[in-house]
């Protein structure tokens, strides 16, 4: 389905074309007509499905026909500053040929950012993308013009609740006019999300797209190893493959820093990103990675959701994620926009039970890859046995017992092919549209 078939404004269609969109994704096909019809929405869609454009396009289109001057007309609440910046950039590209104004409101910047946000919120901006804490800081000062608000979007709602933002969300909603269109997007639909939906949505239409399943084009492999084998194995994989863009996830900042330092010593083109870095530093690292000046990025889960970076060849889970949803979002950073991708997960003894739970969520076991014999014996994959013996720390150096030796050298037969084609409609737009303040 093409975007012209939705009957969108011509100036908006220009922005869609300039942003490289061609055909609508499944979530866009289902959601856009409902939003245009004024329906409240509760939509479940995993990352990379094009859901950002699914709510931005109809909101922009409706605001072009009916918006209130000197007011905030639409409010998009998101869990992280990175997602706020991404949506703002996407919005600027789509709305470039229109008069729609926008601003991203998030913490972590300097005083000038807060001043720009205050000016936009007190004078009115058509679309505001915000993180909960920063918006509450402005609301408490009494100048935010929300009386004419028409649209409320909660994006990555499950993530916001996991981060403890429920009370903040409800406080923000208490400032909004009761008559408005509400759109809730979430990767999963646990009970707490449905309870939230009952409180803020009015007779919503429900859309479900590919819940909790990684894209089929991702080649998944798990390496069963001891803790001490992880860093040497990472180095070996990176040397024996020719992936151009690699994203490595660690569960702890300490592991990010240690792995990055070891890879730098081995002369890899690598940098790290985590919450200890200033916002400007993080944005600079992301820019280098997007532009492929940086080959390897080591990150905490700050990047597992909401960061739009196409053409990542390989995702490595250096640590097993905490749950199945995090696993899906991590590996979903590859195989974006209809392309192939590869995801490797390193599973230590104490992480076997956790990984087994993830496999149960996926509905099938992740194929186990052979560890090169040069690394010595490796553990058996036996989650139940691991549970009986405690699975505690300090076991990563034991050999014998349940260990085994693999006799095959790792073969990079699943390297991703180069893809020079255009991205599908799920790709986020760029550009420099009009903004009533700093958009990131």
Q: Are residues 108 and 257 in the same domain?
A: no
Closest residue by Cα to residue 229 from 367, 322, 348, 345? 348
**What is residue 340's predicted lDDT score, i.e. its pLDDT?**
74
Domain boundary among 362, 379, 397: 397
Domain boundary among 177, 209, 241: 209
- Looking at every residue in the chain, the average pLDDT score rounds to 83
pLDDT above 90 covers a percentage of the chain that reads 58
Q: Are residues 187 and 225 in the same domain?
A: no
> 157 lies in which domain range?
3-209
Q: Are residues 200 and 310 in the same domain?
A: no
Is residue 7 assigned to a domain? yes
Q: Check: CB of residue 23 under 8 Å from CB of residue 424.
A: yes
**What is residue 104's predicted lDDT score, i.e. its pLDDT?**
96
Domain boundary among 155, 183, 209: 209
Is residue 407 assigned to a domain? no
Compute the distance between CA of residue 34 and CA of residue 51 in angstroms, rounded to an integer.
13
Q: What is the CATH number of the domain that holds 98?
A: 3.40.50.300
Q: Are residues 300 and 197 in the same domain?
A: no
Number of Cα atoms under 13 Å in the Cβ half of residue 211: 13
Among 100-114, 342-356, 414-428, name the most confident range: 342-356
Q: What is the largest CA-CA distance in the chain?
A: 72
pLDDT at 64 over 50: yes
pLDDT tens digits, one per residue of 389-427: 333 333 333 333 333 333 333 444 343 333 333 333 333
Q: How many domains is the chain built from?
A: 2
Q: Are residues 64 and 186 in the same domain?
A: yes
Closest residue by Cα to residue 84 from 7, 160, 21, 197? 160
Q: Rounded mean pLDDT of 223-245? A: 94
**What is residue 189's predicted lDDT score, i.e. its pLDDT?**
83
Q: Are residues 301 and 185 in the same domain?
A: no
């Amino acid at each position: 389905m093409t975007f012209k078939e939705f009957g969108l404004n011509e100036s908006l269609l220009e922005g869609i074309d300039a942003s490289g969109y061609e055909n609508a994704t499944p979530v866009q096909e289902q959601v856009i007509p409902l939003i245009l019809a004024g329906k409240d929405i509760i939509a479940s869609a995993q990352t990379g499905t094009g859901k950002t454009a699914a709510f931005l396009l109809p909101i922009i289109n409706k605001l072009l026909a009916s918006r209130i001057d000197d007011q905030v007309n639409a409010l998009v609440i998101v869990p992280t500053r990175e997602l706020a910046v991404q949506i703002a950039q996407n919005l600027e590209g789509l709305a470039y040929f229109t008069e729609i104004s926008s601003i991203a409101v998030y913490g972590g910047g300097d005083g000038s950012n807060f001043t720009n946000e205050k000016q936009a919120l007190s004078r009115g901006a058509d679309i505001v993308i915000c993180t909960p804490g920063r918006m509450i800081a402005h609301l408490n000062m009494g100048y935010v013009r929300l009386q004419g608000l028409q649209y409320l979007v909660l994006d990555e709602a499950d993530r916001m609740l996991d981060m403890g933002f429920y009370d903040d969300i409800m406080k923000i909603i208490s400032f909004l006019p009761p008559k408005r269109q509400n759109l809730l997007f979430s990767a999963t639909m646990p009970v707490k999300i449905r309870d939230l939906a009952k409180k803020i949505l009015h007779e919503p239409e429900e859309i479900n797209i590919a819940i909790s399943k990684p894209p089929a084009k991702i080649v998944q492999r798990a390496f069963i190893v001891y803790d001490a084998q992880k860093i040497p194995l990472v180095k070996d994989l990176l040397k024996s493959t020719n992936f151009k863009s690699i994203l490595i996830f660690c569960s702890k900042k300490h592991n990010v820093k240690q792995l990055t330092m070891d890879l730098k010593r081995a002369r890899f083109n690598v940098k790290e990103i985590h919450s200890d870095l200033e916002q400007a530093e993080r944005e600079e690292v992301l820019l280098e990675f997007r532009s492929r000046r940086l080959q390897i990025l080591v990150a905490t889960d700050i990047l597992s959701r909401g960061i739009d970076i196409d053409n990542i060849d390989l995702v490595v889970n250096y640590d097993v994620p905490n749950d199945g949803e995090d696993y899906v979002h991590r590996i979903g950073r590859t195989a974006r926009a209809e392309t192939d991708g590869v995801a490797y997960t390193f599973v230590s003894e104490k992480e076997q039970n956790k990984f087994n739970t993830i496999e149960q969520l996926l509905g099938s076991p992740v194929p186990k890859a052979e560890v090169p014999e040069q690394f010595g014996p490796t553990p058996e994959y036996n989650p139940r046995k691991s549970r009986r013996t405690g699975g505690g720390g300090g076991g990563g150096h034991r050999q014998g017992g349940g260990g085994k030796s693999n006799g095959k050298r790792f073969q990079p037969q699943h390297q991703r092919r180069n893809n020079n084609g255009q991205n599908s409609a799920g790709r986020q737009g760029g550009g420099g549209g009009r903004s009533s303040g700093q958009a990131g």
